[in-house]
């Protein structure tokens, strides 16, 4: 089995990038082959149908699809913006479903996120659950939401949740 961990924030001091690294450390210790996908590599023009007609699907999105196709499971690590999905991530997901082969179809996906607030990322993760179900992935029934998080401390990181996700069949 192998695991792709996608970061949803390209900010330099991103707490979600820290969470991505923390998940990778746990997964690697559990013997999983981990691949990290940087949020900067999700960057693509805002989806627009006429742009698509003229230019096709952007190269970063083709790269993302290849990375997804190459693994058994995916973890998406997303910030929460106004209770919902950051545009960088939503745009990349929308573009990816314009490829001839939807890379998410049948893929097992765990949704994760970190936020400084006491509610963590539960609201964005429920929105992502709707979107990822719509693109026909199998979304794990538990979310990994780290509340009260900072780049220095992911105090509420749930290591057992990652180990459980890895232990389950793909
Ligand atoms: C936020 N933030 C935020 N946090 C939260 O818990 N719930 C929310 O709805 C929002 N909304 C929101 C909107 C916008 C536009 C920004 C820029 C930020 C705060 C957010 O969780 C915080 O900035 C994180 O540090 C962002 O994640 P990264 O970039 O550190 O990974």
ipTM over 0.85: yes
Distance 80 CA to ligand 1 centre (A): 5
* Cα 31 from Cα 53, distance rounded (Å): 43
pLDDT of residue 116: 98
Distance 79 CA to ligand 1 centre (A): 6
pLDDT of residue 170: 65
Atom 24 of ligand 1, residue of closest alpha carbon: 115
Local structure of residue 136 (DSSP, 8 states):
T
Which residue ranges of the chain lie beneath pLDDT 70? 170
* Cα 110 from Cα 162, distance rounded (Å): 9
Query: Dihedrals φ, ψ of 44, to 5°?
Result: -155, 155
Atom 29 of ligand 1, residue of closest alpha carbon: 14
Ligand 1 in reach of 150 Cβ (< 6 A): no
Distance 120 CA to ligand 1 centre (A): 10
Ligand 1 in reach of 87 Cβ (< 6 A): no
pLDDT of residue 1: 82
**Residue owning tokens 């979107």:** 131
**Residue owning tokens 């994760």:** 112
Question: Is the entire prediction scored with pTM above 0.80?
Answer: yes
Distance 44 CA to ligand 1 centre (A): 21
Domain limits of the chain?
A: 2-167
Class of domain 2-167: alpha beta
């Amino acid at each position: 089995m192998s695991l792709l961990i996608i970061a949803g924030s390209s900010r330099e001091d991103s707490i979600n990038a820290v969470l991505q690294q923390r998940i990778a450390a746990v997964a690697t210790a559990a013997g999983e082959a981990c691949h990290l996908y940087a949020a900067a590599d999700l960057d693509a023009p805002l989806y627009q149908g006429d742009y698509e007609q003229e230019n096709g699907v952007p190269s970063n999105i083709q790269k993302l699809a290849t990375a997804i196709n190459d693994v058994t499971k995916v973890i998406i690590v997303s910030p929460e913006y106004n209770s919902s999905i950051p545009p960088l991530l939503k745009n990349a997901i929308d573009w990816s479903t314009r490829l001839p082969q939807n890379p998410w179809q049948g893929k097992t996906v765990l949704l994760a996120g970190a936020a400084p607030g006491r509610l963590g990322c539960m609201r964005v993760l429920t929105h992502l659950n709707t979107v990822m179900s719509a693109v026909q992935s199998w979304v794990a029934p538990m979310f990994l939401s780290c509340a009260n998080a900072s780049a220095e401390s992911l105090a509420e990181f749930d290591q057992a949740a990652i180990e459980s996700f890895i232990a389950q069949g793909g």
